[in-house]
Structures are given as structure tokens and as C-alpha cells.
Structure 1
């Protein structure tokens, strides 16, 4: 995964949003953490992994991937907020847990990062998130390409006064 490129693209989007919305030097950490939690819930909702009461299938793969990269935008943004954009590598590992446990674990990771915004907690969050992506059958190329598309959409939304 080309982290340098992704952090750079996210930084450009963040700077644009902060300038256009006149956010100046305002700390957005708590808002970004909540945004990530909400986006993670939207991702879970599209997988329908927890909906034991429903026989409906998961959403199309493309919709799930789009929700996944929405989360990635906020993970990158959190790293930028804490100046962790210099990480060279995050490991993409297999998870030993089912998808539901992975979602729940990510909420713990987000909370841990919010309480103690250390680089180690950030890398754990990032790696566990990529493990979820692997469990959802997304490879690095899928994720990067979808991120590029969604980043472009997010810039267009800013053009349109989103």
C-alpha cells in the first residue's frame, strides 16, 4: 500500500476542507473519531453481518468497498491529525476472528486511540482495519483504487458546496 501517496491525498483534502470551512487551527480529533465510528457502522450495516433477524443478502461488493474507503479517509485523517503520516508500512494480516468480532474490535481500537493517541495505537487500528478489508475480500489494489475514486468524489462534493 502506497501510504505516502494516500496520506498526501488525504492531507490535500483535509487542507481544502479546513480552509473552505474556516476551521483554522481547530482540533478536529473528536469529530474525526466520531465520524470514523459512524462510517464503520455504515460499513457494518452494508455487510449485514450482524442482522441475524434478516434473510437479506449483503449489499453489492462495490457499495461495501465504498463504505470501507470512507472509513479509510478518516483513519488517514486521524493519522494526519496526530502527525503519524510518516509510518512506512502497516501489515495486512489475516484475522483469527469472524467479521462481527473484527468490527467490535475496531471500536475498541478507535476508543483506545482516542484515549491514548499513540503511534502504536494508531498502527494497531490501521492494521486491524486492513485485516477487516482482507476478510471482506478486498486486496490492496481494490482499496487504493476505490480510495482514489472516492477522494475525487469528495473534492467534487466540495466544489458543489457539500
Structure 2
């Protein structure tokens, strides 16, 4: 996955949003953290992995991918906020868990760790665990990158149309 390109695309979107909404110089870290938590919840809801009381299966793969890349937007913007946009991120297959619910809960722990101590190590753990989730959801790196680029373009159009 071309992480450098993803960070560049995210930086352009962030700049567009910050300029349009006169947010330059404002601290948005807490807003972005909460947005990430909400997006992860929306993603979990589409997978229905935790809904033991429901027989309805997960949403279509395309809808789940869209929610997944919404989360990725916020992970990237958090990395940009902290200047953690250099380096590589890896999918550690040994960290894969069979249970999606456990993976979602682990992401919330990662986010909490990053809030308490916003170190590069905590950011890398969050990002890599998120990539593992993508693999568990059946996405390839190509799926994720393509989905991100498509949604990033939509987000630019939304900003231009008064979203």
C-alpha cells in the first residue's frame, strides 16, 4: 500500500476543510479522536459482528469498505496532526484475531492508549491493528487503497458543494 500517497491525499483534504471552515491553527485532536471512534462504531454496525441477537448478516462488502475507509481518513489525519506520516505500516498476521468483536474492542483500546500517550509507537499500533481488521474483513491492500481514493474524491466534492 502506498502510505505516502494516502497521507498526501489526506493532507490536501485536511487543508481544504480547514481553509473552508476557517479552522487553520485550531486544535482538532479531540474532535478527530471522537470522529474516529464514531466511524469505527459505524463500521462495526455494518459488519453486525456483535449482534448476537440478530440473524441478519453483514451489509454488502462495498458498504463495509466505505465505512472502513471513512475510519482510515481519520487515522491518517491523526498521523498528520502528530507528524507520524513517515515510515511504513505492516499487517502483522500474527495479530489477527478470529473474532471481529475482539478486533473492534482492541481498536478502542489502541485509541485510548493513543489519547493518553500520543506517541509514534501507539499510533503505529493503532494503524497496524486497523490494517489487520481490514484483512479480517476480507479486503486486500488494493481494495483499501482504491476505496480510500474514491472516498477522498467524494469528500472533496462534498466540501465544494456545501457539505
Secondary structure of the 2:58 match is coil
Check if 1:38 corresponds to 2:41. Answer: no
Structure 2: give runs of 5+ residues left out of the alignment. Answer: none
CA distance in 2 between counterparts of 1:27 and 1:8 reads 20
Deviation at 1:97, TM superposition (A): 4.4
- Mapped to 1, the partners of 2:40 and 2:97 lie a distance apart of 20
Aligned position for 1:102: 103
Normalising to structure 2: TM-score of the pair? 0.97
Deviations 1:64-103 (A, max 9, x none): 000000000000000001011112x111122034111000
- Residue aligned with 2:57, SS: coil
Q: Deviations over 1:13-61 (max 9, x none)?
A: 0000000000020011000000000000000000000011111110000
1:26 equivalent in alignment to 2:33: no
Number of residue pairs the alignment of both structures matches = 161
Q: TM-score, normalised by structure 1?
A: 0.98
Match of 1:58? 58
**Aligned partner of residue 107 in structure 1, secondary structure:** helix
Aligned equivalent of 2:119: 118
Aligned to 1:144: 145
Partner SS state of residue 101, structure 2: helix
Aligned mates of 1:142, 1:120 — CA distance in 2: 26
Cα separation, 2, equivalents of 1:29 and 1:19 = 17
Runs of 4+ more than 2 Å apart? none
SS at match of 1:132: helix
Question: Cα RMSD between the aligned structures?
Answer: 0.7
